[in-house]
Structure 1
Amino acid sequence: MSAGTFEALRGQLHEAATAFADGPGALEGILRGIVDDVDRAVREPLEIFPVCHHSPASALAMARRLRAKQPKVVYLELCEDMAPLLTELRNCRLPVAVQAFAGEVVGFPADWSPLSVVAPITEASAEYQAIAYALDTPGVELVLVDRSSDHVFQWEARDEHPAAPGESADSDAPHGEDGALHGDAVGVEIGDLRPRFAELEEHLLRHGRVRHWSEWWHQYVEVPLGDGDHDTYRQVMLLIGSLFRRLAPGDPGRVRVDEDRERYMWTRIRAHLTATGTDPADGLYVCGAFHAVSRVEEFGVHGTDTFTISPPSGTTWRHGLIPSSHAAIEAQFGLAGGSVSIAAAEWAKNVRRTGVKPFRLAGQAGTKKQGRKAVLPAVPAPSGAPADKLSGFLGRPPALDRLDEAELLGWSVDIVRAARRNGYLASTADAIAVFETSILLAGMRDRAKPTPYDFQDAAVTCIEKDVVPGRRDVRRLVESMMGGDRVGQVGYDALPPLARDVHDRLAPLALKLQQRGVQRALLDIASRPELEACSDVLWILRHLLPHGAARPIMGERRLGERPVQESWDLALGTHQRALIELGYEGVSIEQVLEQRLRRTAYDPRATTGAVLETVEDALLHLRSRRLADELGTRALEVLARERTVDGAPEVLRRVRRLLAYHRTHEPALPAWIESFVTTGYAHYCTLLPTAVTDEDATVRQVGAMLGFLFSMEGLALSLGCDRTQLELAVAQSRPEDPAKTALLWAARTHLGTLSRNELRTRCAGLLGNPLVVPSYPRYLSGFLHALEPVPALADFVVEAVSQAFARLPDQVLLPWLPSLITSLRSGGTELAPLLIREADRLFPARLAALDAWTPPWEAPPSPVGEQGAVGPHPGRGVALLAAHPAACDALAGLLGCDDPWQQAPAATSRGAALLGVHPATGEALAELLTTG
């Protein structure tokens, strides 16, 4: 193109600047600079094809240009490390996203992990047209020239702020499950074309009479360029890119990243041209319009080679394809809700209207099978240099599209039908109203033909009114009618080995696992033992995948138990992205689970309870004694360095479960469990005096400590621990909190340093002291938590609660009842059944017996003393022993009665001698024999 191609346009802009700005100046500099940018890009020997992200006009122009030019090399603005994955697109149903993933980072901040970069691809995008053309045309090479995924984060770290996707999301951007298909990944766009100057975007929206940027682009760029020739399209896109670039705010970090990307791409392009000897005239450079008008010195085939590309970091990147959706693209890149669906509908309409044959990968899901790859027929290129098309385009009034009444009428009928299915009381009158309102809104916005956005506003106004009876509002119904939130799918052949292995191992279930939605799987393992392997896979997936991917409905997995029947709700197709990302961590789900368990156990912030949970999971899901022993040793290390009792309840619960499993399924306890019990015994004995006075330690945590000490006492003593250490720890404990005080009383009762009569006397004293009565409910809370370490006190706790209900005044009792209920619900869930069973044993079973019932704690004391007072008939045991002297002799031996025998005329046995030593017992026995 000659240097004077745009001289006429420069003259017009000079006159406009003089008129509007009262003389040439800054405005003229901007306007003339824009023309210079367009001129420079058009004169470049390597043809630059500017595009906009997911723009139907760009895709249509790309298809036309590829058939006309037939380039031998296509340079594409996409992360260069994603190139090997593009051939797998033919095994997927679009939209999908190419992903680079790194679970462990090297050279980046640790809190950025995991790193993820995605590049979504839809059929209505110029990049897909270029990829399909290059991969299915013999002799054509596709070269990705943008920075690698590693450099994306290298440059973010250099500018000292992490990349955040969706920085400028519209207010009505979609959210929800499909909107999160990309997760927290950083998005890579081809053609990020949007004003970065907020005032400029606001000005365009206000004067264009539109609500958001997506609508402005559709009305003023998509529609005018849909029928434009190649030169017009190219120059207009370059003009828009230059305008947005020159009016962008001067953010140094963002400008530096933009310019470094352009230097990077041109450096790669020149290196490839030099290495292959390709003629620049046979190539095509596809990039965003923003980067097509770059002003860096490295720009162009003849640019300088002064840019140095930094080496990659030590991070290991894994690549794959993940499913995407229209809503996910909109959410990630800040587009208006439904804009990508409307763009897809516009693309399909333009293809039908213009007759342009788009490129599609052979074997792509949803396409017809094609034969062998054939060379495209040559299309003669236009002769002569392209003319200045900007002057005519900018000076021409907008073309008035004729109203397509049939199309608008069809939309109106379809939306009313969809509204009826979703619970709206819509009628034919509403269809007419939508039709007329669409035309009215288009006229108010200076449009001869209503756009989909005009129709959407009209439908909301005429149908939705004030309520939404169903799950979807009218705006979502219009989006669905225009094409819906199309969700892509990665085919079986494109899945990583781990995902394919999961599908193969679940094949006996005979389900369509790649299908979206929830499917029910019934596993009758008793009659089909081969399904137990499927059960193992499902339980591991439940542990690894997000909630809802594999959810058990019936059946549970416990240590030492084998499954019989199970029922599952599976949604692996919906959570395909999560399953694919598991493949980045290993080659099997067992390997991934083992890695995650180790990562959890060796985390510097791991607690003893969390490590014990990994031990249980290793036994439960992997059945690996080796891994369980390794993680158990790690739990021992974590316990030894803990200085708080926050995790005591969880430690107690899990150690009890692991002990029960090993005692019933192993010939001997593992060495780590024995060490854990002895270490825990000494550890909690040491912490007990401090914990009872620590305000941050709750009564439940102190109760769990005592529960560990008392329940593990027998095993700990057999392994060499000293009971004196526990007795000293309890004796040194001086709690001030009433709940902890009651808990320590219960502990002393268990150790034998406090009798039940003394404990009962202390509680009676509390109820008799008016100053202490308001705090008595807190003592009861302590007794309730004492059931964990001393379950034998259940009858006494029932007695204490009954005494409270009988003697506490209403002003104390009634406010305490809610706290008692919440305490039972939150911290005493496992203790409540024990309390209820004991109350059921003590209280009468029928209402009629309640009047004559006397509580055991109010019954007159038995003559045989406390040791014989068991239940409402305290003397029965003595009579039974007298009737069976051999049993009495055995009992005397168990009680350690080794006193010298006393001779009695009528009693020669040791049992009779024992009764002689205790005359009260003898009298009670005689009375029983007399009355019997």
Structure 2
Amino acid sequence: MSPFGALREQLLGAAETFAGGPRALPDILAGMVDDVDRALREELEIFPVCHHSPASALAMARRLREKQPEVIYLELCEDLRPLLDELRNCRLPVALQAFATDLDGFPSERAPLSVVAPITEASAEYQAISYALDTPGVELVLVDRSSDHVFQWEPADPPEEAGRGEQEEEAALHGDAVGVEIGDLRPGFAELEEHLLHHGKVRHWSEWWDQYVEQPLAGADYETYRQVMVLIGSLFRRLRPSRDARRATDEDRERYMWTRIREHLTASGADPADCLHVCGAFHAASRVEQFGLASTAPFEITPRTGTRWRYGLIPSSHSAIEAQFGLAPGSVSVAAATWEKSVKRTGVTPFRLDGQRGTRKRAARKRLPDPVPAGPVTDRLSGFLSDAPALDALDEAELLGWCVDIVRLARRNGYLSSTADAIAVFETSILLAGMRGRARPTPYDFQDAAVTCIEKDTVPGRRDVRRLCEILLGGDRIGEVGYDALPPLARDVLDRLTPLGLDLEKRTIQRALLDFSATPELEPCSDLLWMLRRLLPGDAVRPIMGARRLGERPIQESWDLAIGRNQRAIVELGYEGVTIEQVLEQRLRKAVHAPKATAATALQAVEDSLLYLKSRRFTDELGARAVELLAAERTVDDAPEVLRGVRRLLAHYRTTEPELPRWCAAFVTAGYAHYCTLLPTAFADDDTGARQVAAMLGFLISLESLAVSLGCDHTQLELAVKQSHPTEPGKTALLWAAETQLGLLTTAELRERCDGLLDNPLVVPAYPRYLSGFVQALESVPSLSPLVVELLSKAFARLPDTVLLPWLPKLIVTLREQAAELVPVLVREADRTFPAGLAAVDAWVPPWEGRAAPEPAPPIAATGPVPGLLAARPESCDAVTALLGLDPAWPDAAGDPAVPPGAGAAGALLAAHPETAGAVAALLTV
């Protein structure tokens, strides 16, 4: 007869008495007892655990010393096994990580893929790992699905994990990696969790678990602990909704683990009595057909994809674990403090890896006692469930210490707290604990009391009292990966930065000063820092003084370095290559060959290659790719970036090399033909902005001489301009500017057109858009800057306020965001045009307003070679006079003596400036 028969009958009787309805409750209660019975009768001993549970860690330490298993099957990704040997070189907490960037079998948009499994000292899995690695003859086998299968079986939209990694800025140590938990014990639907929290008089799930599971099980014997954990796992499993997205995945994990266990037992011939299976309590209550060693149900494990996975250790923290797995802030810190206190109180000697960083050096390991054989399974649940939990006595010394320390910490952070507040926190903690049915205040009671008595209504600093309590009770402990456990790239980075003389493993921000004139040997460190700046997050390596641009080399540099705080990012770089240079080259090559790569992207990659890698072969490869991308583009959205990039590169090559690289010449010729072809379409397309059209014209006009020298035809540009027929005012202004530059339109005609726009009341509201186009046109035709200043001045003078005032903010924003480099051109031209002082403003006449007609000069004699020459060739004088805005007057062709010689404006001009006519005559007579 089952040892749980009496308990089953008792629960069924109670259910039938109190349910009074459907048979769902009796079935659930009976099923829970059956799950416990099934798990405990299994030939292979199952050890149920909860993630980061001090009670699980204590029970594991006790059971390992009693049983001394020879094989431990651990619920952890099987391909993470080689990383466990490196844990002794780290300071906990750290996380095991599998990382993949080059995907084969997964959609490329999911890259990079990352899986993390955090390890803390107050966890059962760490106790099992420490025992297995430091005990000779013990084998540790990881039996959970591989990292590849984690993403093969991952639901398309996981409902519970979505957004967990973004709860806190400090939780970024895990990034957006998928977390692997051992023993995820949490209700599967919100109604049950809300019910438990309400009747348990607690705020969140972590507090409920600590109050009703952790504390009662901390001093329980192994059999009681085991039965209670399986019972809880069965309860949450049976109450999980049938349509839950994770249900099928969890069942496949259980089939996977039991299949791997049977395979290992068959291959090794190990005795199941000497083995221990460590898994989450949820999986210990499994009902899949592959459960147990006696099962023969097959399960086909799908092969892994071709994705290449990289493995390593990254630093973790309490806040990162809480954010990723949905735990309450501070719960992992409270668990760590509870673990340390329980170890002292119970006298249990925990297992720690020899040489583990961050722990005190301990005495030599004593020989383990002889294993205790397992006794028969007995019912411990009946007594545990029927007896009232033993209430812990009030530990006044501990509570007083908390109250004094929180007041001291609060005063350091700006709170006006005093001894009276410490007394109030002490009494309020006891009061809250009594109201919640417990004799001994928990850390959560103390935290609520401190907030009530100290914080009042304002927070004077950046930390509130709740955060101060978390710091007091353990703080956000952050792990560290040791030098020996780092990948080769990370070790290479630390080695190459050794000349700086800084301890880069510290988590503080350190200042590095580099004076290249005094210490030229630091130049390689500068090159490495700039590459790290390019690859790492913004706060890891931050330049304070100095810049890396084409053609510039600073004499001194100053850096703020937080490499120790960004260990995770450097470790993940180590998954991509052996050196920083290799990783940067791979990323640049990947960027220019990406499906959405553009010519602007490739030009930026070329510039980065010149700045950081200094490899002519690789730079030419990226440049050739830029030519291909430019020829294949069908839009001109990136024309401004292309123009700026090619101008910088051309200026660099012209000053550093005797001739342009082949790819650079090909880029200019391809760009000239490409933009000439797309110019008419861009003028007519409403989706193409004036900024893009201005950049196209800037490329065509400013690089025309170079393009023509390389074989392009100037006629292409003229035809493209003549075929352009814009309708938008800004683009129309750009077309007029281009026609002026090409000689198709004179400056006088352009001025006349603009004046006509101001005189037309129907066009006046759109006049600012024309001006914006002219401002953009300075990119391609900088010689128009005097005309642009003139047009802006006329607009300010003549436009009505209803048009001018709404336009001014738009003009300022446009100049700042799209034409910042054009503002100095306008400012210099305005400086030349307008008076320098206030005194000259009243008498100042704008140059475009014209000058008064000069006094008539006395007529000059129509003798000598000059008048005869002018009479014979009047066309030159007519043209000059027309440019000056005057009307020429000449004698009739017969030379009528009645007409005075030299009469008219032309004659007056010659009379006023006889030196010019004499100089011309002297040249002609010679």
Deviates more, 1:478-487 or 1:809-818: 809-818
Deviations, residues 159-208 of structure 1 (Å, cap 9, x unaligned)? 5x155773596xxx983332121111111111111111332222211111
Q: Which of 45, 62, 65 is 1:64 aligned to?
A: 62
For the residues of structure 1 that align with 2:460 and 2:281, how far apart are their CA atoms? 44
State yes or no: 1:319 paired with 2:314.
no
Distance 1:920 1:251, change over 3 A: farther
Deviates more, 1:447-456 or 1:815-824: 815-824
Paired position in structure 2 for 1:615: 606
Amino acid of the structure 1 residue aligned with 2:172: A
For the residues of structure 2 that align with 1:354 and 1:21, how far apart are their CA atoms? 41
In the TM superposition, what is the alpha-carbon distance from 1:238 to its structure 2 partner?
1.2
TM-score by length of 1: 0.90
Q: How does 1:420-439 map to 2 (within 5 A)?
A: 420-439=411-430
Q: Which of 172, 178, 187 is 1:180 aligned to?
A: 172
Q: Which of 766, 770, 778 is 2:769 aligned to?
A: 778
Partner SS state of residue 181, structure 2: coil
Paired position in structure 1 for 2:694: 703
Paired position in structure 2 for 1:547: 538
Paired position in structure 2 for 1:467: 458
Would the aligned equivalents of 1:165 and 1:187 in 2 still touch at CA under 8 Å? no
Paired position in structure 2 for 1:49: 47
State yes or no: 1:582 paired with 2:573.
yes
Deviates more, 1:30-39 or 1:47-56: 30-39
In the TM superposition, what is the alpha-carbon distance from 1:617 to its structure 2 partner?
0.7
Deviates more, 1:689-698 or 1:332-341: 689-698
Paired position in structure 1 for 2:913: 925
For the residues of structure 2 that align with 1:562 and 1:663, how far apart are their CA atoms? 18
Paired position in structure 2 for 1:90: 88
For the residues of structure 1 that align with 2:457 and 2:438, how far apart are their CA atoms? 28
Distance 1:168 1:30, change over 3 A: farther
Q: Which of 266, 286, 295 is 2:278 aligned to?
A: 286
Q: How does 1:54-453 map to 2 (within 5 A)?
A: 54-156=52-154, 161-163=156-158, 166-167=161-162, 175-251=167-243, 253-369=245-361, 376-379=367-370, 381=372, 384-453=375-444
| Segments ≥4 residues shifted beyond 6 Å | 918-921, 927-930
Would the aligned equivalents of 2:158 and 2:245 in 1 still touch at CA under 8 Å? no
Amino acid of the structure 2 residue aligned with 1:130: A
Distance 1:216 1:796, change over 3 A: same
For the residues of structure 2 that align with 1:720 and 1:471, how far apart are their CA atoms? 65
In the TM superposition, what is the alpha-carbon distance from 1:370 to its structure 2 partner?
5.7
Paired position in structure 2 for 1:656: 647
In the TM superposition, what is the alpha-carbon distance from 1:296 to its structure 2 partner?
2.0
Distance 1:299 1:740, change over 3 A: same
For the residues of structure 1 that align with 2:711 and 2:721, how far apart are their CA atoms? 20
Paired position in structure 2 for 1:843: 834
Q: How does 1:625-644 map to 2 (within 5 A)?
A: 625-644=616-635
In the TM superposition, what is the alpha-carbon distance from 1:432 to its structure 2 partner?
1.6
Q: How does 1:524-603 map to 2 (within 5 A)?
A: 524-603=515-594
User: What are structure 1's unaligned runs of at least 5 residues?
Assistant: 864-917
Deviates more, 1:92-101 or 1:853-862: 853-862
For the residues of structure 2 that align with 1:115 and 1:613, how far apart are their CA atoms? 26
User: What are structure 2's unaligned runs of at least 5 residues?
Assistant: 855-905, 919-926
In the TM superposition, what is the alpha-carbon distance from 1:498 to its structure 2 partner?
0.7
For the residues of structure 1 that align with 2:361 and 2:374, how far apart are their CA atoms? 37
For the residues of structure 1 that align with 2:559 and 2:824, how far apart are their CA atoms? 30
In the TM superposition, what is the alpha-carbon distance from 1:861 to its structure 2 partner?
8.5
Amino acid of the structure 2 residue aligned with 1:926: P
Q: How does 1:710-729 map to 2 (within 5 A)?
A: 710-729=701-720
Partner SS state of residue 646, structure 2: helix
Partner SS state of residue 600, structure 2: helix
State yes or no: 1:801 paired with 2:801.
no
Amino acid of the structure 2 residue aligned with 1:805: F
Amino acid of the structure 2 residue aligned with 1:787: L
Deviations, residues 298-345 of structure 1 (Å, cap 9, x unaligned)? 222222251122211111111100111111111111111111010001
Q: How many pairs align? A: 868
Deviations, residues 565-620 of structure 1 (Å, cap 9, x unaligned)? 11111111121111111111111111111111111111121121111111111111
Partner SS state of residue 75, structure 1: strand
Deviations, residues 426-448 of structure 1 (Å, cap 9, x unaligned)? 22222222111111111111111
Amino acid of the structure 2 residue aligned with 1:638: L
Distance 1:163 1:276, change over 3 A: same
Amino acid of the structure 2 residue aligned with 1:925: H
Partner SS state of residue 85, structure 1: helix
For the residues of structure 2 that align with 1:569 and 1:697, how far apart are their CA atoms? 42
Distance 1:385 1:862, change over 3 A: farther
Would the aligned equivalents of 2:910 and 2:917 in 1 still touch at CA under 8 Å? no
Distance 1:825 1:14, change over 3 A: same
For the residues of structure 2 that align with 1:365 and 1:293, how far apart are their CA atoms? 36
Distance 1:769 1:384, change over 3 A: closer
For the residues of structure 2 that align with 1:850 and 1:383, how far apart are their CA atoms? 105
For the residues of structure 2 that align with 1:154 and 1:702, how far apart are their CA atoms? 47
Partner SS state of residue 684, structure 2: coil
Partner SS state of residue 116, structure 1: strand
Deviates more, 1:531-540 or 1:459-468: 459-468
Amino acid of the structure 1 residue aligned with 2:251: E
In the TM superposition, what is the alpha-carbon distance from 1:919 to its structure 2 partner?
7.6
State yes or no: 1:504 paired with 2:495.
yes
Paired position in structure 1 for 2:874: none
Deviates more, 1:649-658 or 1:822-831: 822-831
Distance 1:749 1:671, change over 3 A: same
Partner SS state of residue 244, structure 1: helix
Deviations, residues 854-878 of structure 1 (Å, cap 9, x unaligned)? 3222343899xxxxxxxxxxxxxxx
Q: Which of 733, 736, 747 is 1:756 aligned to?
A: 747
Indicate the RMSD between aligned Cα atoms, in angstroms. Answer: 2.1
Would the aligned equivalents of 1:174 and 1:336 in 2 still touch at CA under 8 Å? no
State yes or no: 1:12 paired with 2:10.
yes
Distance 1:273 1:400, change over 3 A: same
State yes or no: 1:743 paired with 2:734.
yes
Paired position in structure 2 for 1:694: 685
In the TM superposition, what is the alpha-carbon distance from 1:790 to its structure 2 partner?
0.8
Would the aligned equivalents of 2:63 and 2:222 in 1 still touch at CA under 8 Å? yes
For the residues of structure 2 that align with 1:402 and 1:534, how far apart are their CA atoms? 60
State yes or no: 1:668 paired with 2:664.
no
For the residues of structure 1 that align with 2:914 and 2:615, how far apart are their CA atoms? 65
Distance 1:142 1:361, change over 3 A: same
In the TM superposition, what is the alpha-carbon distance from 1:96 to its structure 2 partner?
0.5
Distance 1:732 1:919, change over 3 A: farther
